[in-house]
Amino acid sequence: MIIQIQEVKKILRDTDRIVVLTGAGISAESGIPTFRSNNGLWEKFNLEELATPQGFYKNPRKVWQWYNERRKNILSALPNKAHYKLAELESKKNFFYIITQNIDGLHQKAGSKRVIEFHGNIFREKCTKCLYKTYNEKIYEELPPICPKCNNLLRPDVVWFGENIPEDVYVQSYEIVEKAEVLLYIGTSAVVYPAAHFIEQSIYRGKIVIEVNLEKTQYSDLVKFSLIGRASEIIESITNI
Ligand code: NAD
Ligand code: ZN
C-alpha cells in the first residue's frame, strides 16, 4: 500500500486532467450515513417508499418527513479532510472536476468549484407540474410543501430510483470523463448506474483508474490502484504532493 500511495501521489502531481467520482462514503466521516454499508440507510428504511416517484405520489408527506430528517442531519454536518483536500488539489490543476453522487453539497462547502451534482441536491426543490425550482437550506414545518406558482406538490430535486439523470448533466459528465487522463473514485459502492459506468468507461479506455474505498468493489481487481481504507486518511496522503 505504501508503494501504491507513492505512485498515486506522483500521478496526481504530474497529471493535469483529473476527474473524481465521489459517493456517500466520502461524507460518512462527516456524520452522514451511507446507503449500503453497515448501518446504511437502506437497512433501516424502505427504498420503494422513500426514494421512488411511486412512493412519493403514494405518500408525499412521509417522503418529505424523511427528507426533512436528512436535511437536519446534513445541515449539522461539516466537510471533512477528504472534501478539503480535493478542493485544494483542484486549485492546482487546469482540468479538474468532481462528479458527485452525493446530494449534500459538502464539496462546494469545502471550496470545490467544478462540481457536477449527478443526483441533484437535497436543498433544491422542484415543482411536480410547472418549471418552478428553488434552493433553500430549510426544514419544512408544513408538509408537503406546495408550489407558490401553481399550487401543485413540490418534490426534492434529486434523482430517485427509476428516474433518469437530467440529460445535460449526463452529457457533460460523460464528456469530461472522456477528456480525463485519470479517474479517481472515492467512497462509492459502484453499483448505482449510470454513475458506475464512468468507471467502466475509464477502464475500457485504458485510463489510470484509482479506487479509494473502505471495502473492495466489483472493479477493485480491474483498476490500476485500489486503496482500501478511510477516505480522509487516504486522500490526505495521496494529495500531499
Ligand atoms: P453507498 O452507500 O452505496 O456506498 C458507500 C461506499 O462508501 C461503501 O462501499 C462503503 O464501503 C464506502 N465507505 C463508507 N465509509 C467510508 C469511508 N470513511 N471512507 C471510504 N469509503 C467509505 O453510496 P453510493 O455509492 O454513493 O450510492 C449511491 C447513492 O447514495 C447515491 O445515489 C447518493 O445520492 C446516495 N446517498 C448520498 C448521500 C449523501 O449525499 N451524503 C448519503 C447516502 C446516500
Ligand atoms: Zn408549480
> What are the pLDDT digits (tens) for 73-129?
999 999 999 999 999 999 999 999 999 999 999 999 999 999 999 999 999 999 999
Cα dist from 99 to 11, 116, 176, 209, 230, whole Å: 20, 5, 9, 15, 19
| Rounded-to-integer distance, Cα 223 and Cα 199, Å | 9
Q: What is the pLDDT of residue 64?
A: 96
Are 31 and 39 in contact by the 8 Å Cβ rule? The answer is no
Q: Nearest Cα to 212, choosing from 29, 73, 33, 44? A: 29
Mean pLDDT of 40-56: 82
* Ligand 1 binding pocket, CB closer than 6 Å: 23-25, 27-29, 32, 34-37, 40-41, 101-104, 119, 187-189, 192, 213-215, 230-231
Query: Which is catalytic among the residues 83, 107, 119, 197?
Result: 119
| Rounded-to-integer distance, Cα 12 and Cα 204, Å | 20
Q: What is the pLDDT of residue 40?
A: 65
Q: What is the pLDDT of residue 37?
A: 63
Q: pTM value?
A: 0.96
Binned at pLDDT 50, 70 and 90, residue 46 comes out as confident
